[in-house]
């Protein structure tokens, strides 16, 4: 006799603006189980989790908890029913401290007589939460001071801790791309945390990383175009089978070595960074970037890799050093760099990249209204702008009825494609990309890789800053490793056919023999 599920969806249907997002979806999680949920961007995965966690309501169908139909009023109500969520995008409040965010909306548990908050007890509880999650984060830090990776890790700690705070005997924790912003070490720690908690909780895991799905799940569901098309034990699944079920077509060709062969060898230096230093973040970093070249930049959280990209574009105060574009020294400033053909695509699309309440049209044109989309007297050329936006929607396969659709209604992967369109429509010669395929499914990721490779074939230069080591390895002509704000190693595709993830991780974690050789050869030298 089947074991009854602790959480189930029965015939869930949901539509937005007449567009069907979920179509009679059935889904079940059993006690102590980790269930994987996979599908292309826009398949309806996040919408399903929104319904299961009380964020939105289904048009038809039921949510069942421990055998009983429940009508979840909101997310807080879902928490008290035993359902917790780690959202794909940060749900933390930027101007609150870490301990205030960890216990937000559950302050009543720390009220003393007369309704006075016992903040000392809150701090002690927060310290215990962070200790159990093995997170080295100060409880008094404001969350807007944390890195994207730290904020995501904090979200996971919050979801797993609140169930114990509310005395929920067996919580259900919904994880929506929980490791997207984490480096390899943090990703491994997160999956280990799920494994440790598996006996005390049930999990639903959405991830585009099949290696994560296979590592921790017991069963896998596949969503395609809003319909649940398959369910299977994880040991019976393969990456190729999941891809076929997700997209209904064969996987496109790999974007690594085969596509690299068609690209011209690096030529003239396009971007040159000399002695770039930022107090507490970077120390004497020098890098050259040539036309027809992708340079990958990797390192653990806190290595300074994100700071480097922002310092080049002029977003970091106190940066010292020399930056040259096409041989001319340039003072870092966004408008100046954009005028010289350099664009920077931030890693956090919601915080830094897009205005979610605005339309696709507004977001794609935002970075160009001051120059390429306006005439000499500043009047916007709307006809040209509309053509541009529609062209990029087609080219990047942005799924929306019109360009007037608000970005906040799109899936995370579709939002990322809008972010690409915003900067690629400027026809940049130099691109600094920070985690460019974050939250993007494998099919779309391969398509975006082809777009980047075509830009490089036409002469563009790309500095690829990414936590996704397979992505860095697949795309880069050279890979530069940062540790504690310093360049500690470089791997060239001409020297080795494909660098190992393990080799790169070892270089990030500590000085290896290869690093010592590199540092000895490059002591006092120029850029890599």
Burial of 366 (0-12, 13-18, 19+ CB in 10 A): middle
Same domain, 187 and 304: no
Same domain, 241 and 164: yes
- Rounded Cα–Cα distance for residues 56 and 47 (Å): 8
Residue 64 lies in a domain: yes
Mean pLDDT for all residues in the chain: 84
**Res 517 pLDDT > 70:** no
Coil, helix or strand for 163?
helix
Residue 516 lies in a domain: yes
- Give the pLDDT band (50/70/90) at residue 251: very low
What interhelical angle do 501-509 and 184-197 show, nearest 10? 100
**Res 370 pLDDT > 50:** yes
**Res 496 pLDDT > 50:** no
Residue 433 lies in a domain: yes
All residues at 6 or more sequence positions from 475 whose CB lies less than 8 Å from its CB, including other chains: 255, 256, 294, 296, 449, 452, 453, 462, 464
Residue 346 lies in a domain: no
Question: Once rounded to an integer, what is the mean pLDDT over residues 88-105?
Answer: 83
Same domain, 265 and 226: no
**Res 152 pLDDT > 80:** no
Coil, helix or strand for 394?
helix
**Res 351 pLDDT > 90:** no
Question: Once rounded to an integer, what is the mean pLDDT over residues 416-425?
Answer: 92
- For residue 17, give the DSSP letter: T
Query: How much of the chain exceeds pLDDT 70, in percent?
Result: 88
Same domain, 182 and 293: no
- Rounded Cα–Cα distance for residues 250 and 356 (Å): 33
Query: pLDDT tens for residues 137-147?
Result: 899 999 888 87
pLDDT at 68: 92
Query: pLDDT tens for residues 208-231?
Result: 888 889 999 999 999 998 999 999
Last residue of a domain, one of 224, 247, 270: 247
Query: pLDDT tens for residues 290-310?
Result: 999 999 999 887 788 989 999
Residue 466 lies in a domain: yes
Same domain, 460 and 401: no
Residue 526 lies in a domain: no
Residue 364 lies in a domain: yes
If one counts the domains in the chain, the total is 3
Same domain, 144 and 235: yes
Same domain, 265 and 333: yes
Structure tokens belonging to residue 506: 């070892």
- Give the pLDDT band (50/70/90) at residue 422: very high
Same domain, 76 and 38: yes
Same domain, 413 and 273: no
Same domain, 513 and 437: yes
CATH number of the domain enclosing 31: 3.40.50.300
Q: Domain range holding 218? A: 5-247
Residue 347 lies in a domain: no
pLDDT at 191: 82
pLDDT at 105: 76
Last residue of a domain, one of 213, 247, 281: 247
Same domain, 207 and 71: yes
Please give the model's pTM, rounded to 2 decimal places. 0.65
Integer CA distances (angstroms), 458 to 50, 105, 153, 317, 411, in order: 42, 52, 39, 34, 31
All residues at 6 or more sequence positions from 433 whose CB lies less than 8 Å from its CB, including other chains: 345, 452, 462, 463, 464, 465, 466
Last residue of a domain, one of 247, 272, 299: 247
The answer to whether 27 touches 8, Cβ cutoff 8 Å, is yes
Same domain, 179 and 298: no
The answer to whether 256 touches 498, Cβ cutoff 8 Å, is yes
């Amino acid at each position: 006799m089947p074991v009854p599920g602790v959480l189930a969806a029965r015939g869930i249907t949901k539509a937005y603006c007449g567009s069907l997002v979920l179509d009679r979806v059935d889904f079940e999680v059993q006690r102590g189980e980790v269930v994987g949920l996979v599908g292309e961007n826009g398949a309806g995965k996040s919408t399903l989790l929104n319904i299961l966690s009380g964020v939105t309501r289904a048009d038809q169908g039921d949510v069942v908890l421990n055998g009983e139909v429940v009508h979840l009023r909101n997310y807080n109500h879902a928490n008290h029913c035993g359902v917790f969520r780690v959202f794909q995008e940060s749900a933390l409040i930027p101007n609150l401290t870490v301990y205030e965010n960890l216990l937000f909306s559950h302050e009543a548990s720390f009220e003393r007589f007369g309704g006075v908050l016992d903040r000392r007890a809150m701090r002690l509880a927060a310290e215990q939460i962070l200790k159990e999650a093995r997170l080295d984060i100060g409880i008094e830090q404001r969350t807007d001071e944390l890195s994207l990776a730290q904020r995501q890790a904090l979200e996971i700690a919050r979801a797993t801790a609140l169930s114990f705070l509310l005395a929920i005997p067996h919580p259900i924790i919904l994880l929506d791309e929980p490791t997207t912003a984490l480096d390899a070490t943090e990703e491994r720690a997160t999956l280990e945390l799920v494994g440790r908690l598996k006996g005390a909780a049930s999990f639903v895991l959405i991830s585009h990383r099949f290696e994560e799905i296979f590592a921790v799940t017991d069963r896998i569901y596949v969503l395609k175009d809003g319909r649940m098309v398959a369910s299977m034990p994880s040991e019976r699944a393969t990456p190729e089978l999941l891809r076929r079920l997700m997209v209904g077509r064969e996987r496109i060709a790999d974007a690594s070595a085969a596509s690299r062969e068609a690209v011209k060898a690096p030529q003239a230096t396009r971007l040159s960074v000399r002695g770039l230093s930022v107090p507490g973040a970077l120390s004497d970093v020098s890098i050259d970037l040539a036309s027809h070249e992708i340079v990958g930049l990797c390192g653990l959280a806190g290595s300074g890799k994100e700071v480097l990209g922002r310092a080049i574009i002029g977003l970091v105060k106190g940066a010292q050093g020399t930056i040259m574009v096409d041989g001319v020294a340039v003072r870092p400033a966004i408008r100046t760099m954009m005028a010289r053909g350099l664009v920077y695509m931030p890693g956090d699309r919601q915080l830094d990249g897009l205005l979610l309440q605005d339309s696709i049209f507004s977001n794609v044109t935002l970075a160009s209204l001051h120059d390429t989309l306006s005439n000499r007297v500043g009047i916007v050329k709307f006809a040209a702008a509309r053509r541009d936006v529609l062209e990029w929607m087609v080219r990047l396969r942005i799924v929306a009825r019109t360009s007037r659709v608000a970005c906040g209604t799109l899936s995370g992967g579709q939002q990322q494609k809008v972010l690409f369109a915003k900067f690629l429509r400027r026809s940049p010669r130099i691109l600094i990309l920070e985690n460019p395929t974050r939250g993007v499914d494998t099919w779309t990721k391969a398509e975006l890789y082809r777009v980047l490779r075509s830009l490089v074939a036409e002469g563009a230069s790309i500095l690829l800053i990414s936590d996704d080591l397979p992505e860095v390895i697949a795309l880069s002509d050279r890979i530069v490793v940062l540790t504690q704000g310093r360049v500690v190693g470089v791997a060239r595709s001409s020297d080795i056919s494909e660098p190992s993830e393990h080799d790169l991780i070892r270089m990030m974690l500590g000085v290896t023999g290869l690093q010592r050789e590199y540092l000895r050869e490059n002591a006092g030298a120029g850029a890599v």
